[in-house]
Amino acid sequence: MREIKPRIHKDMNIGEVLKKYPETRKVFQKHFGEACFNCPGSRLETIQFGALMHQKDLNAILEDLNSKLK
């Protein structure tokens, strides 16, 4: 039986992703900066909203995040 790899998608909450997949921290830091971890919005905002607010490429962020999953 083939194992299904978990996927991070644009509608996921940044805080929840960080909690569930701590290995993604450096990806968020790379794309959103260190302040991302102190921002109250990171607990409520989706990855898509964060990308929009930081004017970053959503697809590049998702690709980087998913590459970190084991």
Tell me: the pLDDT tens digits for 10-62?
A: 999 999 999 999 999 999 999 999 887 788 878 889 999 999 999 999 999 99
Residue 50's pLDDT is 94
Residues whose CB is less than 8 angstroms from the CB of residue 11 and which lie 6 or more positions away in sequence, other chains included: 46, 47, 48
The DSSP secondary-structure symbol of 34 reads G
Please identify which residue in the block is written with the tokens 């697809």.
Answer: 59
Q: Which residues contact 16 (CB under 8 A, 6 or more apart)?
A: none
Q: How many CB atoms lie within 10 A of CB 11?
A: 9
Give the other-Cβ count within 10 Å of 31's Cβ: 19
